[in-house]
Structure 1
Amino acid sequence: MTDRDALFARLRRRPDVEDATLLAHDASDALILDEAARLRKQLGEVVVIGDRHGALTLGALHDGAEHVRAHQDSIVGERALDANAAELGPVGAGGFTHHRLDASLVEGATLVLLQLPRALDELDEIAELIATHADEQVRVVAGGRVKHMTMSMNALLGRSFRHVHASRGWRKSRVLHAEGPRRPGISWPRTRRHALLGRQQSVVAHGGAFAGTAVDIGAQTLLAHLDDMADASHAIDLACGTGVLGIALALARPELQVLATDASAAAIASTRASANANGVADRVDARQLDGLEGVPDASAGLILLNPPFHLGATVHTGIAERLIADAGRALAPGGELWCVWNTPLGYRPLLERVGETRQASRTPKFTVTVTTR
């Protein structure tokens, strides 16, 4: 076992969901670092984008990087990196800083390590940012698991970089190298108008936001019940994505205040932009949080939840379980939790732990329930 392997073996996912089937690293992390090491003897300052729980950031520092500028979309991922750095001691102490996905992250950078996102829109936004603001000599080393990579990724990187080529595969992983930035400028976020509940609503989305500028079917299914929801003065859009649910509620109820929360930085930036585009920014407070942290117990009269059912590329109920439990903690006596979920996942027992639960609608694909504490 190499020193880096020993480092990886100590990594944990906490405070993200942990179980025996989920790891804090995979072979693509090692391959990205190996391919980067072949580019230069001294790593100097490195930019890391999309690190999941710290493997790339701490691995780069272990391999000799002087400093790492890191961007992770998930606040849970940020905290996992911090926790792993503290656990490893000297390897990560003071060696990295967290950054938003903006020019300050990549300005002047000559080496960017990237865990390839599954969403092409997210990759497009990241590629544009690097190619617009990084050094002319920047090299991008972008890796992932082969089963999640497509030729579309090569083509998309080619829109922002003059030269793109793939490494050989290794342990079911591969790296794409990109260089020669085209200076394309920034085209994100993007906006689309939708007719929802008899009114026009704008959805503004960054590349990493779930469903982008579309309105996913689950959200549409839950929106059909908007008039049936409790008449509360304050509501929470939990795991808000682009804020479609909370903003629709705010538009329908002019006196309502909405708290929209999501672990994703792209989601919160999208929700804020969407709230502004729809003229409700003064009544929709969007915050990047792990669930409903900081929300007092038994304080919420109305919570809307369209929970994710993936952890990365894995179908897993862990996040939904945590969100439902947190909603139950925050729900006031007599308050309502409206939830839409994929029917085959069977979340009803989890919801019944919160309170009395009834089915509002059901199709083979989606079920809408209302839970009263």
Structure 2
Amino acid sequence: MNDVLDDLRRYPDLEAPNLFAVDASDRLVLDEAAPLLAGAADGTVVVIGDRYGALTLGAIARHGVTGVRVHQDRLTGERALHANAERLGLAGFTSHGLTRDLVAGARVVLLQLPRSLDALDEIAALVAEHADPSVVVVAGGRVKHMTTAMNDVLRRYLAVVEARLARQKSRLLVASTPRPADERPVRRWPERAEHDGLVVCAHGGAFAGTGIDIGTRALLAHLDEVPRTTGTAVDLGCGTGVLAVALARSRPGLTVVATDESAAAVASARATVEANGVADRVTVTRALGTAGLPDASVDLVLLNPPFHVGAAVAPAVARTLFADAARVLRPGGELWAVWNSHLHYRPTLEQLVGPTRQVGRDPKFTVTVSTRG
């Protein structure tokens, strides 16, 4: 009989020979958790960080678990889970934000360890506060991405943390016994910090946290050169919303839409927008690229694209975002982009968007403006 894990795909995320829907850590988590999942009561199993559905659908198909509550930060992962479930004829799960409703009363939590310690802190705090006192967290990851600091983070909130033996370059941390409220750190998410009058708010899983990453800083340095003062602008892949807020504050006549596929980024950007008093002119949406925006409806796009999917270098991500920007830009509209100089994106921008000129460059980053033909 085929294992459901053998039939999973990454679609609609990028698919390539070096990109996989399942890895050894997924299999290790499911194997270790098998005694906990067998006979688990409806609604008591939670899955966090499932990349493409391996943990969720593995629990359902192997053990008949029902009422699984799932949180995935990336919208592509969430869509992949639903696509895999539909293709394989599986059901029995619901998607949730990283909120109390996700973990309330949970007795088993299957977790793909995030690489960010702050993201792990926010997850562990939520579990300790709202899960059942008998909860067991089975957390897996690739050994090369794990550190002993992860054990320390879990121990802030769960009194018992055990590191299990490695298998196929993967390892588990099994945590239980939530600490009483007076023994846990004070709730800290979202955090906030001020940078030259701009308040940045960030949840644990947000890239760069409450800081401003150097790529964004490179684009901010040229924001005064953006000629657009009215119309509609998009902060594509908005992260914590720094560019969207800076643009809204400097161009009161603009309406700004900020989009990101990361749930942590969207929650952070909404908090950043509120903290800076521009919620009347900035809308934050969780979306894949510019999905939901009509063709040729936008005057300006700002973009600081990622070039990784997890640990894998994937320049195709930026290419997809360039094409998304081109689709929504009106003729004469501009894409202002910042990108790692060694990636040489200018020919791609010329091809997908239109005539492109360089407005800034250093050994690390290049800032370009592409005009839609």
Match among 299, 302, 309 for residue 300 of structure 2: 302
Runs of 4 or more above 6 Å deviation:
none
1:113-192 equivalences under 5 Å are: 113-182=110-179, 183=181, 184=184, 186-192=187-193
Q: Which moved more, 1:180-189 or 1:307-316?
A: 180-189
Which position in structure 2 is the counterpart of 1:326? 324
1:49-88 equivalences under 5 Å are: 49-64=48-63, 65-88=65-88
How far apart, CA to CA, are the structure 1 residues paired with 2:319 and 2:115? 23
- The alpha-carbon deviation at position 40 of structure 1 amounts to 5.9
Q: Which moved more, 1:225-234 or 1:78-87?
A: 225-234
Amino acid at match of 2:97: R
TM-score normalised to the size of structure 1?
A: 0.95
1:337-356 equivalences under 5 Å are: 337-353=335-351, 354-356=353-355
Listed one character per residue, the Cα deviations across residues 75-126 of structure 1 (whole Å, up to 9, x for unaligned) are: 111111000001111xx22x10111110000000000000001111111100
- The alpha-carbon deviation at position 39 of structure 1 amounts to 4.0
Is 1:336 aligned to residue 337 of structure 2? no
Listed one character per residue, the Cα deviations across residues 212-258 of structure 1 (whole Å, up to 9, x for unaligned) are: 10000000000001111131422100000000001001111122210
Q: Which moved more, 1:204-213 or 1:183-192?
A: 183-192
How far apart, CA to CA, are the structure 2 residues paired with 1:262 and 1:66? 30
- The alpha-carbon deviation at position 43 of structure 1 amounts to 2.9
Structure 1, gaps ≥5 residues long: none
DSSP-derived class of the 1:63 partner: helix
Which position in structure 2 is the counterpart of 1:9? 6
Number of paired residues? 363
1:245-260 equivalences under 5 Å are: 245-260=243-258
Which position in structure 2 is the counterpart of 1:366? 365
Which position in structure 2 is the counterpart of 1:261? 259
| 2:231/2:298 contact within 8 Å kept | no
DSSP-derived class of the 1:204 partner: strand
DSSP-derived class of the 2:152 partner: helix
DSSP-derived class of the 2:201 partner: strand
- The alpha-carbon deviation at position 320 of structure 1 amounts to 1.1
Amino acid at match of 1:42: G
Change (3 A) 1:40 1:327: closer
Which position in structure 1 is the counterpart of 2:222? 225
Amino acid at match of 1:351: L
TM-score normalised to the size of structure 2?
A: 0.95
Which position in structure 2 is the counterpart of 1:357? 356
DSSP-derived class of the 1:335 partner: strand
Match among 34, 37, 49 for residue 34 of structure 2: 37
How far apart, CA to CA, are the structure 2 residues paired with 1:362 and 1:322? 23
Listed one character per residue, the Cα deviations across residues 122-168 of structure 1 (whole Å, up to 9, x for unaligned) are: 11100100011001110000001000001111111111110111111
How far apart, CA to CA, are the structure 1 residues paired with 2:15 and 2:154? 33
DSSP-derived class of the 2:326 partner: helix
